[in-house]
Structure 1
């Protein structure tokens, strides 16, 4: 059972999402919150696996709340609920540790799948905004303060196989999709991913994807 917290400043949206998710036997909405401060209070009192987090909320918005959630409850996954005009928040929330972005108005089926995907440790970007996200990341050069910092010495130790994995993660592929594309088992992909994260000192695959796009890894040729 995946325990979900729904955070949105509009009661109608909170209630609607809760009703929709209640139809799935593997999902339990354990709490709702109207702002980031309420989210943090709930996390102190009960176990939560995934937060559906609105960006624009009073008192504490979803971006700042995501930062505090990942600092204090690192195992909790955060999915940002967004609209097309929230571009300026995209990088910050993902950099702070959000596992993905989905658009408000997403279908019930896709919302359920997004929760399953993120809960299993994968990143989730709604296809309608994925291109905008990666365009934004590619515009943030290594010279800017917003570029993710990694262990520079460790970069030299990455094997060609590890670079291929990083490249596909930067392209937004899941472990299963990478396994098929590179003719590997999913277990092997997971092992490579763990090694890459440890070497580069990054928190999760979302940060790795950001770094891959920022540094141009997705456009390089790692074929033999």
Structure 2
């Protein structure tokens, strides 16, 4: 299988007012193409810090992070931004949709920064809306959508640039249990079509949708 992610002895230390806090303590992890992995841990376990590094939102204090064979451990902000836009799709708990844009326009936002022709992305946005069952909500703004519909739009936004990795941070945390199951079933279907997915969660029930669960505690992988 093709290796998507390899973390080698990753550490992260934050320093505030001279006090150092070790958020990650020697993380080693490999993720292969087509996997569906849940990273599970309690609040303060280090899972958010790990997510930020995997998502190229932050850099490690030490260690190496290889994404698709490229060492991205110490890239600058502009380089990390380009990596995120080309290779990673993000889905967050709070949706982060732009309130004055329609569902269709929100999905297209990452495409504005893509190297590919925008006209091709417009067609893809239509296809994504149809896949997510939102064609009839194309012109609705976020305030006109339910929480589950907003998260579907957020998933569509994550897919618009056809990323090799989808990183979902507590994607059902703001949803009721019925809607949460609907959203998780979307991730299952995406994975069955070959998409590599890493899910961050504290909920064992949500983690059970993944094929492999990686547990983290006190900045260390325990299983």
Alignment TM-score > 0.5, same fold: no
Greater fraction of residues in strand: 2
User: Taking structure 2 as the reference length, what is the TM-score of the superposition?
Assistant: 0.28
Greater fraction of residues in helix: 1
User: Taking structure 1 as the reference length, what is the TM-score of the superposition?
Assistant: 0.28
